[in-house]
Amino acid sequence: MNSRFSAILFAGIGLISFTSSAQVSEKVENILRKMTVEEKVGQMTQLTLGPFVDMNVKDKMVLKKDELRKTLVDFHIGSVLNNAQDHAQTLAEWHEIIRTVQDAATKGTRLGIPVLYGVDAIHGATYLKDSPLFPQQLGIACSRNTVLAKEMGRMAAMSTRATGIRWNFAPVLDVARSPLWSRFPETFGESTCLVKTLGKANIEGAQEKGLGDYRSVAACMKHFLGYSAANTGKDRTSAFIADHVLRDVFLPPFWEAVKAGARTVMINSGDINGVPVHASSYVMKDLLRKELGFTGIAVSDWEDIIKLRTRHHVAETDKEAVFQSINAGLDMSMVPYSTSFCTLLLELVKEGRISEARLDESVRRILTVKMELGLFENAYPEPAAFKNAYPAEAPALCLEAARQSLVLLKNEASVLPLKMGSKILVAGPAADNMPSLSGSWSYSWQGNDPIWYPKDALTILGGLRKIAGDANVRYLPGCDFAGKLTTPVSEIIKTAELSDAIVVCLGEEAYAEIPGNINDLNLPLNQKTLLRSLAATGKPVILVLAEGRPRLITDVSSLPAAILLAPQPGTKGGEAIAEAIFGKFNPSGKLAFTYPANPHDLLTYDAPVTDVLPENNDTKQALYRPLFPFGHGLSYTTFSHSGFSVSGNEMKSQGDSLTVKITVTNSGKMEGREVLDLFIRDEVASLVPAWRKHIAFGSAQLKAGESKDVSFTIRSSDLEITSANGKRIVEPGYFQVFLNGQEHRFLVKP
Ligand code: BGC
């Protein structure tokens, strides 16, 4: 449900009424008519809470209430974001914040327009103390589970709304490209199909009951557009993206999200082809408004108007930066530290450089979303929502999502699962470390401070002790994340000799955005040295990789008998990993990205055919040679596949479809879930086609010996590409479809 009808629940009373979009629009116009220019400019301003909190007081939250009230009232501020002390807060603290903010806005100002408060609840309620967290989106993508993507959105929405906040800056709809990128784990991976399907599900979960309902929040699709494609792989650096790639790879998830009812969007902090996106009317008007038909709020990212001057060097002054961005179509500035935006925009209106009608466009959108969220009826935390702060089903869902996110990359001689009763040595910097399991936006922005994690969250070591029993587990960290040795090698070897197997947990600590930039994709050398020393003992080594991006391990990948990838599985990750190691469940995750073998060979699975095929065009010599390809993932059971069929050899270029079927049999001894990815390739196109395009995925949960059919649909729309003149078309000719090693050729007719 979106702008058409919004269910508005009067908090505490339980009375539901429905407001049509015509009524909303009439109310919005009524308010707009009464507003001064100052009030309009204020609505377009978003400030962060930080400066209004006494940071000198550490043990409790002290709001500088008078200062906060005065700023909100004097500048008619429309929106506030963020937590108080850069860490999670209690429900009571959140209620105090929201009440203070809404008191100022609704009682202190002439028109009483409520504030739209926003927060990043990316994989659960990031800033609500002790809230369990799901895997990062990358882990959800490895699960290929649309239901989990939806539940993650729904749970985050329920908890967030319970805090009194109705706007979540999620989901991330950037399509992963460079594995160096520090926000790689925040994405649903490198397939546009995964990003759009899981993103849509997430939004449906977040907004399931309608924005006015006390169980929903407004989702924010971000970051529009092409944020993940920076050339250097570093956060917020320049991207060069051909128009057909922009439209074919990066745009579809936003297109789906708009159709799913997303009412807000956050703009990409980077620049594309030399134009900062915050100053790009092509992206913010032509693509977002005209092509996608988006009618909601476009908010800037952090300080990004000012950065047109300070970082992108396209504006000489902050005022010029405001002019460029508002002119290009932005609605709200996440300033976020000062009221400079209000002053400068006001000056621009007074000087006649920006018209009041232009402000009206943005304010109209802002007021409409506020109204849809029910803020005009009741801007305060809704008592009916309080019981949802910690939804009873959330811990179990987080655990299930953590399990399904794990990818078994290697399992020689079925070393896993370990037998119960095995004695194990647990080593490595990630073994007893929560942040490496949960990543960014985990109780703090960087997620790297263990003290804010729930006391009952288990690390991998904690999980192993719980499952295997303390007496069977010995622990020596060996080295820290940078690779500095913390335990003498001789001691590690002595302990290893007393064990049946070694579980070595390597990887990365938590990071977000620019602080997470790296210059080397290799796993730090001494972490690999630790692995080498452990492997030299001759004991079977199980490598757990706790990481949010594929850190290169090619030179040591032959050493461990098993490799289990934990792509930031969240606060239940430790338990899930331990369960997987001891066979309490059967891993089923598949890589949602390519695991490269070499630092300068970073092809994605959908690279242009020119990059993948050698000059003789021999597909058997394809140059997509990662350590593990997109879609790779093993199981403790075996699956056999039969009866591959495609419903025809031809289809029309519009409104047609083919059905692909395969029968999957669990031919092993343990129950398991088989995930399948379907790919196509356009044999000849007017622009160089992709080597493969992932267009669908499916799965079957199978008991030992059981068989099921899995079917997929290829729609003509799945074959669409953007032509050189910017038109979306399906080009007639031959295509191939690939499923689990089987392939079929079909002809698309005009
Ligand atoms: C990030 C956004 C986030 C915003 C608000 C920015 O630094 O890029 O993804 O929503 O901060 O916290």
Q: Residue 58: its pLDDT value, please?
A: 82
pLDDT tens-digit series, residues 203-250: 999 999 999 999 999 999 999 999 999 999 999 999 999 999 999 999
Of 19, 96, 35, nearest to 65 by C-alpha is: 96
Q: Residue 665: beta bridge partners? A: 640, 707
Q: Residue 493: its pLDDT value, please?
A: 87
Q: Residue 275: beta bridge partners? A: 272
Q: What distance in angstroms lies between residue 302's CA and the mean position of ligand 1's atoms? A: 6
Ligand 1 near 222 CB (within 6 A): yes
List the end-to-end C-alpha distance of the chain, in Å, as a whole number.
36
Q: Residue holding tokens 């598949």?
A: 590
Q: Residue 682: beta bridge partners? A: 735
CA distance 337 to 330: 18
- Which pair of tokens denotes residue 14? 């339980």
Q: What distance in angstroms lies between residue 336's CA and the mean position of ligand 1's atoms? A: 11
pLDDT tens-digit series, residues 384-442: 999 999 999 999 999 999 999 999 999 999 999 999 999 999 999 999 999 999 999 99
For the chain, what percent of residues have pLDDT higher than 70? Answer: 97
Ligand 1 near 511 CB (within 6 A): no
Q: Ligand 1 pocket check: which of 301, 305, 335, 441 to mutate, most ligand atoms within 8 Å of Cβ?
A: 301
Catalytic site includes residue 301:
yes
User: 443 and 556 in contact (C-beta within 8 Å)?
Assistant: no
Ligand 1 near 508 CB (within 6 A): no
3-state secondary structure of 381: coil
3-state secondary structure of 158: helix
Q: What distance in angstroms lies between residue 192's CA and the mean position of ligand 1's atoms? A: 22
Domains in the chain: boundaries: 38-386, 406-581, 637-749
Contacts of residue 312, Cβ cutoff 8 Å, sequence gap at least 6: 271, 276, 279
pLDDT tens-digit series, residues 623-639: 999 999 999 999 999 99
Give, using CA atoms, the residue closest to atom 11 of ligand 1.
Answer: 302
Find the mean pLDDT for residues 33-43: 98
Q: Ligand 1 pocket check: which of 79, 302, 306, 511 to mutate, most ligand atoms within 8 Å of Cβ?
A: 302
pLDDT tens-digit series, residues 460-499: 999 999 999 999 999 999 999 987 888 888 888 899 999 9
Q: What distance in angstroms lies between residue 524's CA and the mean position of ligand 1's atoms? A: 28
Q: What is the mean pLDDT of the chain?
A: 95
In one letter, which amino acid is 228?
A: S
- Using the predicted structure, report yes or no on whether residue 616 has a pLDDT greater than 50: yes
CATH number belonging to the domain at 637-749, selected among 3.40.50.150, 2.60.40.10, 1.10.3430.10, 1.10.10.10: 2.60.40.10
Question: What b-and-e string marks burial along 108-139, b requiring 16 or more CB atoms within 10 Å of the CB?
Answer: ebeeebbbbbbbbbbbbbbbbbbbbbbbbbbb
CATH number belonging to the domain at 406-581, selected among 3.40.50.300, 3.40.50.1700, 2.60.34.10, 3.30.930.10: 3.40.50.1700
Please give the CATH number for the structural domain made up of 38-386: 3.20.20.300
Report which DSSP code applies to 76.
T
Per annotation, catalytic residue among 301, 304, 682, 718: 301
Find the mean pLDDT for residues 373-390: 98
Q: Residue 11: its pLDDT value, please?
A: 32
- Using the predicted structure, report yes or no on whether residue 655 has a pLDDT greater than 80: yes
Find the mean pLDDT for residues 110-120: 98
**Which atom of ligand 1 lies closest to the CA of 222?**
9
User: 11 and 383 in contact (C-beta within 8 Å)?
Assistant: yes
Give, using CA atoms, the residue closest to atom 12 of ligand 1.
Answer: 120
Ligand 1 near 513 CB (within 6 A): yes
Of 267, 272, 261, 260, nearest to 177 by C-alpha is: 272
| pTM across the whole model | 0.96
